[in-house]
Structure 1
Amino acid sequence: MTQHNADALLAGNRVTLANYEARHFGWSVNAGVATVTLNRPERKNPLTFESYAELRDLFRQLVYATDVKAVVIHGAGENFCSGGDVHEIIGPLIDLPMPELLMFTRMTGDLVKAIRHCPQPVVAAVDGVCAGAGAILAMASDLRLGTARSKLAFLFSRVGLAGCDMGACSILPRIIGQGRATELLLTGRSASGEEGFAWGFYNRLCEPAALLDEAAKLAAELVAGPTFAHGITKKMLHQEWSMSIDEAIESEAQAQAICMSTRDFDRAYRAFAAKSRPVFEGD
């Protein structure tokens, strides 16, 4: 392959999303940090069929984005997300035949897959109500900041459904433990911000007024780091769930060797030798 063809191939697989015009949520990009705002505060920011699908498609595009290095997701007003809209999703689902119900549940699961598989760290800033599919969005994120008034609830049992929704029975126990996850998924009860922090769901609690700023600051710190290597770390954290220890060690050996071939690794060494701080560029 010639250099021209290689450049054309790479160019075809690169996108910039700073000017992306979201239709069903807020979207902005500043200095490598993208912010997703669930912006229906009068209804506690519920999801709709359309917002599910657009979020899924956007997170899929992030795999190829060159201008987004970290993502913050939060809700407008004093709540994160109340889950699927009762009138725009729950009601219509009652009348759908099984094949279309399966299309819907696969689509919502694909959103979690897209969040888990994009290389950018995703930081959820969780205030107030974080319920149902909203709790899943927070769960699927890589890091979570909460507040004392955060109310985490996996409400599926309250509406006659199983707790095994969008990967909850796989992911949630790995975050908070099997027993605690079982309790939340079976009872549908709310966990307070203090409980969520003590259980490890939240990385830390913030004052509500400072929550979004703290999430943006954390995302900016990640953007200032070796972002290619961060993507490898995220990939391995997800990929190693199904590996034996020996397989994981070998996979990490291969992944780390790849990172050692990056310019960021060279920059870090030269900065250390010069007794200065490295400036990472993500390559």
Structure 2
Amino acid sequence: MTPHLASGNSQSLAGYTPAHFGWQQQGAVGVITLNRPERKNPLTFESYAELRDLFRRLAYVSDVKAIVIQGAGGNFCSGGDVHEIIGPLTGMSMPDLLAFTRMTGDLVKAMRACPQPIISAIDGVCAGAGAIMAMASDLRVGTARSKTAFLFTRVGLAGCDMGACAMLPRIVGQGRASDLLYSGRSLGGEEALAWGFVNRLVEPEQLLNEAAAWAGEIAAGPNFGHAMTKRMLHQEWAMGVDEAIESEAQAQAICMMTQDFHRAYEAFVAKQKPVFRGD
């Protein structure tokens, strides 16, 4: 291993065991399971922080190429735990509240910054911070019975939480995002598919297999190219067209230096399917 990788820029998640959610590595696919099914998988202060730290670490992980997020027991995530988060927030000082809201935003930043494409497998309740995690993912697979709700106005807060006002309109459009963020209403699976919030709709019993298979296809692809695609999709939100075209020219030229690009050409000439290695 070259020195710049040995110094910590190429890590493995072998043996990783989180305390506040489930983790399983299936080949090059990492599966996160929010696993408090008796409460519909709410987040706590601790799980927020641990998820944030995992996604930050994934920027340096070389043996995981794609991520699936699911919830246990037929629901995705009911948001912040009412008793363990919402209640304590009502008694906090402004500095402590700001530290909390910045931490939750850091989870979204870490999800967007990690190079691995993220697929959320959405079933049942997907509310509040759960809806945000689904929104912050790159791709979403849902079920007809799923109910996604950005509930913040229902508890007297603004809809502008964890990047929702920036990201949701880019997924479903400004008018539809306004509907969801003002009302806090639930978006059913069929409507979510029609609106483009979810990319695919499957039966509940097929959900994890569909998401994992899709993640496996992505993981088998040109990982350096996928990471570059994710970075450019994020960065180009704040670019003009001319600036974006120049940035993409530079990004594509960099990708043309990879061995995966050469492998693809050689496989095409040989009439074979390329085997990508992410270098």
Q: TM-score w.r.t. structure 2 length?
A: 0.99
CA distance in 1, matches of 2:138, 2:66: 10
Q: What code does the residue aligned with 1:46 have?
A: P
Query: Do residues 8 (structure 1) and 10 (structure 2) align?
Result: no
Number of residue pairs the alignment of both structures matches = 278
Match of 1:25 among 21, 25, 47: 21
CA distance in 1, matches of 2:129, 2:14: 26
Deviation, 1:14, is: 1.6
Identity among equivalent pairs (%): 71
Which aligned pairs between 1:1-283 and structure 2 lie closer than 5 A?
A: 7-12=2-7, 13-283=9-279
Q: What code does the residue aligned with 1:248 have?
A: A
Q: What code does the residue aligned with 2:112 have?
A: R
CA distance in 1, matches of 2:55, 2:14: 14
CA distance in 1, matches of 2:2, 2:271: 36
Q: What code does the residue aligned with 2:45 have?
A: F
Structure 1 runs of 4+ with >4 Å offset: none
User: Is this contact kept in 2: 1:135–1:154, CA < 8 A?
Assistant: yes
Deviation, 1:21, is: 1.0
SS of 2:212's equivalent in the other structure is helix
> What RMSD, in angstroms, separates the aligned Cα atoms of the two structures?
0.7
User: Is this contact kept in 2: 1:53–1:111, CA < 8 A?
Assistant: yes
Tell me which moved more, 15-24 or 131-140. 15-24
User: Is this contact kept in 2: 1:47–1:81, CA < 8 A?
Assistant: yes
SS of 1:21's equivalent in the other structure is coil
Deviation, 1:8, is: 2.5
SS of 1:123's equivalent in the other structure is strand
CA distance in 2, matches of 1:76, 1:99: 34
Deviation, 1:18, is: 2.6
Q: TM-score w.r.t. structure 1 length?
A: 0.97
Deviation, 1:30, is: 1.6
Q: Paired residue for 1:3? A: none
CA distance in 2, matches of 1:7, 1:277: 29
User: Is this contact kept in 2: 1:119–1:235, CA < 8 A?
Assistant: yes
User: Is this contact kept in 2: 1:18–1:28, CA < 8 A?
Assistant: no
Deviation, 1:7, is: 2.2
